A = this chain, B = another copy of it.
Amino acid sequence: MQTSVQKMQSSPRGETATSILQAADELFGEQGLEGVSVRDVAERAGVNKALVFYYFASKEKLFEAVLERYYQAHRAALESAFNTDAPLAQKLHSLVDAYLDFIEQHRRYPSLVQSLVVGSPAFHPFIQRNLEPMFRFTEAALVGLSPEKGHLAARHFFLDISAAVINTFTWAPVLAPMWGGDPLAPAALAERRQHLHWLADALLAGLTRSPG
Contact = CB atoms under 8 A, between A and B. Distances in A.
A18 interface: no
A163 B167 contact: yes
Interface residues of A, dominant DSSP: helix
A87 interface: no
Q: Which one of A121, A174, A194, A195 has the greatest number of beta carbons of chain B within 10 Å?
A: A174
Interface in A37-52: none
B195 A152 contact: yes
A178 interface: yes
A60 interface: no
Contact of A164 (B35, B127, B164): B164
A90 interface: no
Interface string A141-166: 00000000011100110111011101
A118 B152 CA distance: 31
Interface of A: 31-32, 34-35, 111, 114-115, 117-121, 124, 127-128, 131-132, 135, 150-152, 155-156, 158-160, 162-164, 166-168, 170-171, 173-179, 191-192, 194-195, 198-199, 201-203, 205-206, 210
Given A117-B173, A167-B167, A199-B203, 18 more contacts: A32-B34, A32-B119, A35-B119, A35-B120, A111-B118, A111-B119, A114-B114, A114-B170, A115-B118, A117-B171, A118-B170, A128-B176, A132-B178, A151-B191, A151-B192, A158-B178, A159-B175, A199-B206
